[in-house]
Structure 1
Amino acid sequence: MYTNKKVTQLILSLSIEEKVGQLFILAFAGEDKDYAFDLIKTMHVGGFYITDDNAHTKKDATILASQLQLQAALRACNAPLILGVDQEGAWGILTKETDLGPGNLALGIVDDIKITEKMYRVFAQQMKSIGYNTLLSPCADVNSDPDNPIIGQRAFGEEPMHVARHVAAAVKGISQGDNLSCAKHFPGHGDTHTDTHQTLPVVDKSFEQLMSQDLIPFKKAIDENVSMIMTSHIKYPQIDETYPATLSYKILTELLKNQLNFNGLIITDSMNMWAMRKNYLPHESAILALKAGAHLIMLSEEHYENGITDYKEIQKQTINGVIEAVKQGELNESIIDSALSHVLCYKYTNICLNQSKEALSEKECTHISNFSAIQAIKTLKNDAGHWPLKTAHFNITFAANPKGYDNIVNSRGIGPNDPRTARDTILSSLNKCKCHYSHISYQDFQIMLQKESSFDSTAPIIIITEDYPLPGDRFDTDAQIKIVNKAIKIWHDKVIVIGMRSDYELKKYHDLKTYICAYSSRVVSAQAVANALIQT
């Protein structure tokens, strides 16, 4: 066991390069292991942000994690690497081989903290069995703005205390699964109108408003001993007129450390997001973040920059820029030493590279995932009494433009998603059971809407709406709403809408008689919806 004294002695033996490198969490493209090994050996990095881009199967992921840790163990500073993954339900990696459940919004709708706790225990256990030791979850944001472009299904809901209870349960579940947790995005990303992957949002809230709203889930996470807190690239001018949260001493040190008494690790959101890159030089933002009180700087290469930037060069420029700032006296070495001491003590104490706690069985994991998805399906409007279905035959169509599915999985896996769509899952399930239904393709449905065709059959028409949380992009939800409203105008109470998304769309359907919501676009939720259709 490493004590503070031993860590202090270790730090004294390290060069500036070795010390600075340990404070960076980096990403690498594809299966470029040689580059990852080089980052460990020559840049002395402290960990990696891992996606499906790096390992496509559990077997490959297990090999990768082991190889990376072996390289780290050979260094003078042999602390284990942080291997972080966005395993949070609405986002997740290795989606075909892990149990992700329906996502946070659906868990919040179920509103059983024991289910949330179990679901996050599943996440933690399955990642730990691979060797990924840090879950960059749970999302502790409050959905204050229903039109927020990036949080949505990733949040547990829109009421602070409700979100806080589930955040605390998630942190507890991750701990039970023997993994590290990370509440994000401090001090809150749920009340923004723009996406930090694209721009720098501004939230004009006072300290009092933050304390009574956005910060409540983070306080609960801290009470539950959350391992890390991730910063947000958002300006809060009433708290700090100059800097966004990631770069703000007032927010990271005075608020998070001193007032909220957080003693874990502060990790930045990706410093390659345009909120940072459009406003600061790469090394400049890293220096400011360290001065503000961050312990770990994360650079996860954003997918929309893939073809126009040399991410390896940016990584080296950033780390070398911090090293040079220390050598030139621009950044006090004591800040580096203090951050590194905190990081190393935490790593040596809390990261265990072997499975050490009793694990849930695969059957139990799958049951928890399926059960939570089923429980989340809610009938929110049934004015015509059409649900459950009263007829043996039904028509079904999907409001999302199929072209939008191309963006569900981004080119570098940033903002990981399942390539299997809700549409394909539902249709596949219906086909297998040989239901009496008619599928109307997107193209044919557009023609029907244009011609205002009438149905000879008395069978209802089920319209499935979908949404997927995409960083730096948006699914075509507005276009889907227009399609649904036009259908309601033509076919009136024959229309049944099933939302594979949040229920915020319902307020846009003034004349809709039947609305069911799954609060998720995940495969497990699509399967649950298909089963509900089959059973009727």
Structure 2
Amino acid sequence: MSNLSRDKRVVESTGKLLLAGFEGYEITPDCQAVKLIKIHKVRSFILGSKNFVNVPQITKLIDDLQTRAKLEGYERPLLIAVDQELGCCNAMFDEIALTQFPGAMGLAATDDVELIYKVGEALATELRSIGFNFLMGPDLDICSRMSNQLIGVRSFGSTVEDVTKYAIAFARGLKKGGILTCAKHFPGIGSSFVDNLLELPMMLETYTQLECFNVLPFKNLIDEGLIDSVHAGGVAVPNISPNEIHACLSPVIVQKLLRKNCKFDGLVVSECLELESLCRNVGLGQGAVLAILYARCDMVMVCSDYIYQEEALSSLTKAYESGNYDPIFAQSVRRIDELHRKLQWSEKIQLTSDLWNEHQKLSIQAYSKSITLVRDQEDVLPINKYFTKNDENNIVVLTPLITQIHPDVHNTNSEEARANSSKLYPCEDTFHDFGEQLAGYDESQDYKVLHTTYTANGLTTLHESLIENSKKTFQFH
């Protein structure tokens, strides 16, 4: 083989090993994404909020990316990934063109596997209509630590049985909708916490504990053939062995627990190597080499910085050129190629108005069924037992003054909207509809509802006066 042909093979092979992100809302001739495609032959990209304005804009961005890949002679489409977990954990939000569904905990609260299946299918269909073909999900973490701020509502439940039951339904829907899946965050980080001293996400389970609990949802979905790839987490696992720092850099986690124990021979993607604790402790170049050659992940994720992406590719290229790791590289490239062979240039679908309307109805149904009474120890509900027809039935509703996750979506230029919004403080409209519904709950009784907000400073003397003069007060936290 000539040096030129080997150099070309090295570039093409190492380019396949990177799942790259970039900033920007459009593709230009000299942008980061084009450099990654043209120079480094990168074939997989992950897009997120830093690329998103609205659905038409990101659809064009993806189309332009794929066009660039065609111009470079790529035989298969680019793998275009997105981290769209639903609920409040979405990379994209567009109420005009993208249906909002409950997150994993909300879906589990419905206890309706058929509904969850339909939501999975609807999500996959809408993502494919935009141009995505790869979802960073489902989330298979068991939320066994209730104070877990890393997972929380992103989990389908606190038991192996619940997570497996609902995740299987969701994954089947995703599969029916035609999108590739990447189960996360192996080996299951639902018990993790952030170590304040090390500034590092950490979990303290032993290998046996992981094997008997955390990984079981992954194993169950792998056995069902519902997982195309697995995302290895970046949490520290100090009790696995003295040398193990991060799960995605650990051969015990990836080779032994995932490959051997769970019998998974598909694609494994590392946590983003730009994760602060990981990058600080290991470094980008060394992290890429450890993830691929030591832990045996197949693809490393570097979500943003072009310099870091080049550092990762440079380190992998040097290892490849040494000739010492050819079997490992060949195995990873095989898995990546197998996944890419599932992609077709013509697979983008159209979202019809009828299907969109069905998804809106499905969303309403899912949110309605997800409403759950978690606790009512004082037997407060139903509230109408406190009122009689002869009472004035004054109700005060106190709600926190919140900040919307996507405030730009709710901006409007209509005269009517401006007139209505001028009567309310910013974000008061979030609970305004609830007050109106409460006021009209029972036509036979005269509910007078006063809705006001409070800030992080707590209740004022004015709030206390309103509470004193009300028949009943409802305070939301």
TM-score of the two chains, using structure 1 as the length reference: 0.74
Alignment gaps of 5+ in structure 1? 1-10, 302-310, 411-416, 466-536
Q: In structure 1, give the amino acid aligned to 2:453.
A: S
Distance 1:48 1:122, change over 3 A: same
In the TM superposition, residue 37 of structure 1 has moved relative to its aligned partner by: 1.8
Alpha carbons 2:26, 2:61 under 8 Å: kept = no
Q: Answer whether contact 1:205 1:238 (CA < 8 A) is retained.
A: yes
Residues 1:293 and 2:296 aligned together = yes
**Structure 2 match to 1:344:** 337
For the structure 1 residues 166 and 146, does the alpha-carbon distance in structure 2 shift closer, same or farther, using more than 3 Å as the test?
Answer: same
DSSP 3-state at the match of 1:49: strand
**Alpha-carbon shift at residue 256 of structure 1 (Å):** 0.8
Confirm whether residue 138 of structure 1 aligns to residue 133 of structure 2.
no
The number of aligned residues is: 434
The Cα shift of 1:239 comes to: 2.8
Q: Which residue does the alignment assign to 2:430?
A: 425
Aligned partner of 1:383 in structure 2 is: 378
Question: For 1:57, which of 20, 38, 54 is the aligned residue?
Answer: 54
Alpha-carbon distance in structure 2 between the residues aligned to 1:13 and 1:55: 36
Matches within 5 A, 1:138-177: 138-177=138-177
Question: 2:423 — aligned with what?
Answer: none
Distance in 1 separating the partners of 2:428 and 2:303: 30
Q: Does 1:396 align with 2:393?
A: no
SS of 2:458's equivalent? helix
Taking a change above 3 Å as real, the CA distance of residues 51 and 112 of structure 1, as seen in their structure-2 partners, is: same
- Cα distance per residue 1:449-493 (max 9 Å; x no partner): 79955634333222223xxxxxxxxxxxxxxxxxxxxxxxxxxxx
AA partner of residue 33 (structure 1): I
Cα distance change, pair 283–419 in 1 and its aligned pair in 2 (3 A): farther
Change (3 A) 1:456 1:450: closer
Alpha-carbon distance, 1:365 to partner: 1.1
Matches of residues 105-144 of structure 1 in structure 2 within 5 Å? Answer: 105-144=105-144
**5+ residue gaps, structure 2:** 388-392, 412-425, 441-447
Please say if 1:68 is aligned against 2:69. no
Counterparts of 2:369 and 2:358, CA distance in 1: 16
Task: Give, in whole Å, the separation in 2 of the partners of 1:87 and 1:121.
Answer: 13
Q: 1:277 is aligned with what amino acid? A: C
1:473 aligned residue: none
Which of 316, 334, 347 is matched with 1:322 structurally?
316
CA change 1:103–1:441 in 2 (3 A) is: same
Cα distance between partner residues in 2 of 1:341 and 1:288: 19
Code of the aligned partner of 2:292? L
More off after superposition, 172-181 vs 235-244: 235-244
| Shift, 1:429, TM fit | 6.1
Cα deviation code 1:99-150 (max 9, x no counterpart): 2312111111222211211111111110001111111111100001011111
- Distance across 2 between alignment mates of 1:449 and 1:338: 69
Matched, 1:461 2:473: yes
Q: By how many angstroms is 1:173 displaced? A: 0.7
Question: Structure 2 CA distance, aligned partners of 1:374 and 1:451?
Answer: 31
Aligned residues of 2:25 and 2:57 also touching (Cα < 8 A): no
| Superposed CA RMSD | 3.2
**Cα deviation code 1:197-231 (max 9, x no counterpart):** x9433322233322221111101221232111101
- Residues 203-282 of structure 1 correspond to what in structure 2 (within 5 A)? 203-225=203-225, 226-243=227-244, 244-282=246-284
Percent identical pairs in the alignment equals 23
- Counterpart position of 2:184: 184
Indicate the residue corresponding to 2:449 in structure 1.
Answer: 437
Change (3 A) 1:461 1:383: same
What displacement does 1:437 show? 2.6
Which stretch has the larger CA shift, 19-28 or 441-450? 441-450
Residues 166-188 of structure 1: CA deviation (Å, up to 9, x unaligned): 11111111001111111100001
- Show the counterpart of 1:24: 18
Q: Is the 8 A contact 2:269 2:301 kept in 1?
A: yes
Q: Which of residues 316, 325, 328 is equivalent to 1:332?
A: 325
Query: Offset at 1:441?
Result: 2.5
The 3 A distance-change label for structure 1 pair 362 and 454 is closer
Matched residue, 1:525:
none
Does residue 36 of structure 2 align to residue 39 of structure 1?
A: yes
The separation in 2 between residues aligned to 1:95 and 1:195, in whole angstroms, is 36
**Match of 2:286?**
284
Does the residue aligned with 2:202 lie in a helix, a strand or coil? coil
Q: Distance in 2 between matches of 1:394 and 1:428?
A: 15
Find the structure with the greater CA-based Rg. Answer: 2
For 1:149 and 1:418, locate their aligned partners in 2 and report how far apart those are by CA, in whole Å. Answer: 26
**C-alpha distance 384-162 of structure 1, shift in aligned 2 (>3 A):** closer
